[in-house]
Structure 1
Amino acid sequence: MTLIFTVLEIVAPVFLLAGIGFAWVKLGFEYRLEFVTRLAMTLAVPCLIFTALVNTTLDPAALTTLTLASLVAYVAVSAVVLALIWALRLNQRTFSAPLIFGNTGNIGLPLALFAFGEVGLEYAVVVFAVMAILSFTFGIWLVAGAGSFSKVLKEPLVWATVGGALFLWQGWELPTFVDNTMGLIGQMAIPLMLITLGVAMARLSPSGIGRAIVLSALKLVICVGGAWLAAGLFGLDKTAFGILVLQVATPVAVTSYMLAAKYGADADSVAGLVVVSTLMSIGALPLLLAVLL
């Protein structure tokens, strides 16, 4: 019973904040999604990543191992998903990227923080950065048929990761006023992302719900299995193990819907995956956390 209450205390803030965003839109209040998303991804999240890496107490070797494990996990998940899409004769441009990449930002980072504390967040930003780089290259190639390496170079979160890793490697420290300022900005990231997730969910027009239920369940199984395999292969400690599995297992991100709309894939079907997988995660992620904690 104690474990159940612990898990509920972890996941409740995540879905309550998303619910606030959902209710905000349904009540007819204005929410400029593009502006808030840009604020979060251009400023708040990069500051969160940078300060988490600069101030980490974790061994750099452990972060390197987690990076490699994350890459292996996504390679394994990609291989199984692409084989599944071929076997089911689904449209690769529509379904491949959403089934491979999860919502490691809006849902994964908050869950990592609430479940595993600051150490969990430090691990989680590594997995998030790996996912972001892969989604901006391999992910866009799957949807549009062309990579976007130049876009990766323009992403602030990529440079925040590189800069934070450099500071960590060299043992450099930020001036206190800079560290405090960036820390405050970074604290905006998690509530902003969660409320924005709820807003985006309220505005989606999903279709193919029956198929989305089946594919969302398959995605969860494939992602948990791939991450679990990679974590075991690299011998990750309990916290890093839990973070990798939790991050890779997150539901389909709203950005997958945006990419589908931008590049001419079936955006309504992707919207169905976003809605169904996110609703499914309300039950699935607490169960997964109960196993990982």
Structure 2
Amino acid sequence: MEHLFYHLINIILPVLLCIFVGFLLGKFNKPFDTKVVTSLMANVGYPSLILAHLVGRTIDLDIFFKMLLSGVWIILAFVAITAIFLKLVKLPIRTYLNPLSLSNVGNTGLPICALVYGPKGLIYGLAFVVAVTVFNFTIGRWISSGSFTLKQLLTSPVIYSVVISVVMLLTGTHFPKPIASGLDILSGLAIPLMLLTLGHSLSTMKLGNMKLGTGLAIYHLVVAIILTWVSLPIFGFQGVARGVFILEGLMPVAASTYLWVSIYRKEDAPSVASVILVSTLMTILVVPVALTYWV
């Protein structure tokens, strides 16, 4: 119990504090342009974070790409299982498939991995962020909207940052120091904006059926635990990589998926907000327990 409390105070509370600041901004109606902030994250924060922390760093490429592959595997497995689940319970796939299949590996997972494991944890956590972000801004958007255009893919800076990073990692090339320093500064936007936006979103979401939200949040957690447990021996992660894989695998429903639901499935947005809220609150207990007894 003492270890559990220690992890809760030193790792979860700093993250919750940042989320709470965003929550207060929303509750007190302080100026917070969600569209501008989301645009900054998608077009500046995420790309800069990916480029700044992958290019020019000394990392084990085999482990990083294995982590990236594991992130893709978790997403695809989640999508397949959730599609069947939604058919069985007769809930709309366009509304719930994307939220229930993607975890909040960026807003919540990345800060936790960085706090627990330092720079290496941040880098390995980014592998998950790349997988989820690319899926959410391409296939995830298509699922919610029911349509997909090549323009959406070609105009996403995240896609280009991933391609550039992979090419530079494989070729061992680096950015000139002024560019690298600039990217370091810009990448500092990402994590604070992620947490503030999550808090602000939670404060402004109109909640729907909390019973449904709780049930779906529990579903997401149960599937996440099973997939993480089953996948560990498949990928054989050890040390920091193992810890990051477990933590990212147990993250709550991705709050970023609410963006597409609020645009394309407005009638179901309150229900999805309920799922995100309950799932995020459950993380307060899930992460300390995982850090104490599993990682």
Tell me the TM-score normalised to structure 1 length. 0.93
Once residues 203 and 43 of structure 1 are traced to their aligned partners in structure 2, the CA distance between those partners, rounded to angstroms, is 24
Q: Which amino acid aligns with 2:176?
A: P
Once residues 38 and 139 of structure 1 are traced to their aligned partners in structure 2, the CA distance between those partners, rounded to angstroms, is 17
Residue 3 of structure 1: CA displacement? 5.4
> 249-258 or 188-197, which moves further after superposition?
249-258
Pairing partner for 2:269 from 240, 263, 267? 267
State the match for 1:254 in structure 2. Answer: 255
Residue 260 of structure 1: CA displacement? 1.4
Once residues 290 and 147 of structure 1 are traced to their aligned partners in structure 2, the CA distance between those partners, rounded to angstroms, is 43
State the match for 1:203 in structure 2. Answer: 204
State the match for 1:217 in structure 2. Answer: 218
State the match for 2:168 in structure 1. Answer: 167
Residue 149 of structure 1: CA displacement? 4.7
Cα distance per residue 1:236-262 (max 9 Å; x no partner)? 223222222322332223332221122
Cα distance per residue 1:37-92 (max 9 Å; x no partner)? 21122112211111111133222121121122222222222222122112212221
Say whether residues 1:230 and 2:231 are aligned partners.
yes
* 5+ long unaligned stretches in structure 1: none
State the match for 1:37 in structure 2. Answer: 38
State the match for 2:278 in structure 1. Answer: 276
Q: Which amino acid aligns with 2:175?
A: L
Say whether residues 1:115 and 2:98 are aligned partners.
no
Cα distance per residue 1:203-223 (max 9 Å; x no partner)? 100101011111101101102
State the percentage of identical aligned residues.
Answer: 28
Relative to structure 1, is the Cα distance of residues 119 and 148 closer, same or farther in structure 2, using a 3 angstrom cutoff? farther
Relative to structure 1, is the Cα distance of residues 163 and 94 closer, same or farther in structure 2, using a 3 angstrom cutoff? same
Residue correspondences, number: 293
State the match for 2:287 in structure 1. Answer: 285
Relative to structure 1, is the Cα distance of residues 231 and 161 closer, same or farther in structure 2, using a 3 angstrom cutoff? farther
Relative to structure 1, is the Cα distance of residues 47 and 216 closer, same or farther in structure 2, using a 3 angstrom cutoff? same
> 225-234 or 145-154, which moves further after superposition?
145-154
Q: Which amino acid aligns with 2:208?
A: S
Once residues 146 and 99 of structure 2 are traced to their aligned partners in structure 1, the CA distance between those partners, rounded to angstroms, is 15
Tell me the TM-score normalised to structure 2 length. 0.92
Residue 292 of structure 1: CA displacement? 4.1
Once residues 117 and 149 of structure 2 are traced to their aligned partners in structure 1, the CA distance between those partners, rounded to angstroms, is 34
Q: Is the 8 A contact 1:101 1:253 kept in 2?
A: yes
Cα distance per residue 1:154-173 (max 9 Å; x no partner)? 22122112211211111112
Once residues 279 and 117 of structure 2 are traced to their aligned partners in structure 1, the CA distance between those partners, rounded to angstroms, is 23
> 239-248 or 181-190, which moves further after superposition?
239-248
State the match for 1:95 in structure 2. Answer: 96
Cα distance per residue 1:71-117 (max 9 Å; x no partner)? 22222222221221122122212211111012222111111111111
> 116-125 or 52-61, which moves further after superposition?
52-61
Relative to structure 1, is the Cα distance of residues 79 and 13 closer, same or farther in structure 2, using a 3 angstrom cutoff? same
> 41-50 or 250-259, which moves further after superposition?
250-259
Residue 291 of structure 1: CA displacement? 3.2
* 5+ long unaligned stretches in structure 2: none
Q: Is the 8 A contact 2:18 2:195 kept in 1?
A: yes
Once residues 149 and 291 of structure 2 are traced to their aligned partners in structure 1, the CA distance between those partners, rounded to angstroms, is 35
Once residues 217 and 236 of structure 2 are traced to their aligned partners in structure 1, the CA distance between those partners, rounded to angstroms, is 28
Supply the RMSD in Å over aligned alpha carbons: 1.8
> 131-140 or 272-281, which moves further after superposition?
131-140
Relative to structure 1, is the Cα distance of residues 291 and 187 closer, same or farther in structure 2, using a 3 angstrom cutoff? farther
